[in-house]
Amino acid sequence: MIKYLIEKEFKQIRRNAVIPRMVMGMTFMMIVILPWAADFEIKNIHISVVDKDHSTVSSRLIRKIESSGYFKLVQVTNSTQEAMPLVEANQSDLILEIAPDFEKTLIREGVADVMIQANAVNNTKGGLGSSYLTQILGDFATEIRSEWSQTSGVVTPSVQVVSQNRFNPHLNYKVFMVPGLMAMLLTMLGGFLPALNIVGEKEKGTIEQINVTPVGKFTFILAKLIPYWAMLFVVLTLAFVLAYLVYGLVPVGHYGTAYLMAGVYVFAITGLGLLVSNFSSTMQQAMFVMYFFVVLLLLMSGLFTPITSMPQWAQNITLFNPMRYFIQAIRMIFLKGSGLHELTTQLGALSLFALFFNSLAIISYRKNS
């Protein structure tokens, strides 16, 4: 009996031309387009420089800031009053003020002050811009000190720090985001499609033809899950191909481990979709309820905001979010090459979620016999 039910689901998906187009469109958008937008690196920060010194050292500092790749020089002026209107008009994000006699003070005392004023309406841009500029000023001071010590023949002690980045050596943000967006893709499709499928049959009345048959609730739910489970495996494969073709990104770990974790997660998220459909009477109602859960899962998963940066009460809530464990697993597989022995916590948690949601979906399904 289950064979014919699964065959019926596949035929229904194939006849609905919207589903294949939506699946292909969402996969392309999430993997190819969204990583370019979901980039938390702040670049092209507009800066105004108030140079009251007009010395060789101040000119060199301005050139170093401009060549860093993070800042765009808007203007170089002589007074703060001339630079402030650009900040008020949102045409400048930072003002760097170089004091008079900057070079003389630096030579005579070894220390000279500059002032940074940040437009903190956008606190993220203002904070990161100030941090970038502070780091550039520190590097510039180190360069000047090193050059002057060589000129004077006096060797000053210095500590050289060489950074070695593990797992993402070039600090490419897309390497970090693409695996997470794969999890987002499976969550959106795996949550919405099964829920809308059952509710759509409720609205059309065709589900009553199955309810009066001797098909058990377990068989019915399983027949609903398997086609979408298979379809989402195809979606994941397509996402792997696009990640390789567009970004040259391949998992350091084994593909089999990624498919196993994805299979358990998809089983859990489709179970949640079926559970929502059992308590929904219309497609609009199912969409609103699923949208509420999906937004909550995304925001509390660590996809955009690190879980360790959340307050402790929010971190405790994320323990009940299956998407958290799958994002951790897929990123560990892609970036670290983790195997099953390192993913036992994530695999165990996802298995419990899959068992919980699907058990509730079976129990809550109301079948008229």
Per residue in 271-299, pLDDT tens?
999 899 888 888 889 999 999 999 999 99
DSSP string of 167-207, one letter each residue = S-TT--HHHHHHHHHHHHHHHHHHHHHHHHHHHHHHHHTTH
Contact 182, 31 (CB under 8 A): yes
Closest CA to 360 of 267, 263, 278, 266: 278
Say which residues have a Cβ less than 8 Å from residue 177's Cβ, sequence separation at least 6. Answer: 35, 38, 39
Q: How many CA atoms lie within 13 A of 3 on its CB side?
A: 0
Which has the minimum average pLDDT: 82-96, 217-231, 306-320? 217-231
CB 157 within 8 A of CB 11: no
The C-alpha atoms of residue 85 and residue 95 are separated, in whole angstroms, by: 11
Q: Which long-range contacts (CB under 8 A, 24 or more apart) does 202-205 make?
A: 202/281, 203/282, 203/283
Task: Look up the pTM and report it.
Answer: 0.79
User: Dihedral of CA 102/103/108/113: which sign?
Assistant: positive
Residue 64 has a CB neighbour count (10 Å cut-off) of 15
Q: Which residues contact 298 (CB under 8 A, 6 or more apart)?
A: 184, 187, 304, 323
What gap in Å lies between CA 86 and CA 73, rounded to an integer? 12
Q: Is the pLDDT of residue 182 over 90?
A: yes
Among 169, 268, 164, residue whose Cα is nearest residue 225: 268
Short-list 260, 272, 268, CA closest to 236 = 260
Which of 25-29, 34-38, 190-194 bottoms out in mean pLDDT, i.e. has the lowest? 34-38
Lowest-confidence region among 22-31, 108-117, 218-227: 218-227
Q: Name residues whose C-beta falls within 8 Å of residue 344's C-beta, 6 or more positions apart in sequence.
A: none
CB atoms within 10 A of CB 76: 18
Cα(74)–Cα(66) distance, integer angstroms: 10
271 or 108: which leads in pLDDT: 271
CA–CA distances in Å: residue 114 to residues 48, 97, 209:
13, 6, 78
Backbone dihedral region of 153: left (phi > 0), alpha (psi from -120 to 50 degrees) or beta? left
198 to 113, 277, 278, 283: CA distances (angstroms): 68, 6, 8, 9
* Mean per-residue pLDDT over the chain, rounded: 86
Interatomic CA distance for residues 130 and 133, integer angstroms: 5
Residue 17 pLDDT exceeds 90: no
| pLDDT of 171 strictly over 50 | yes
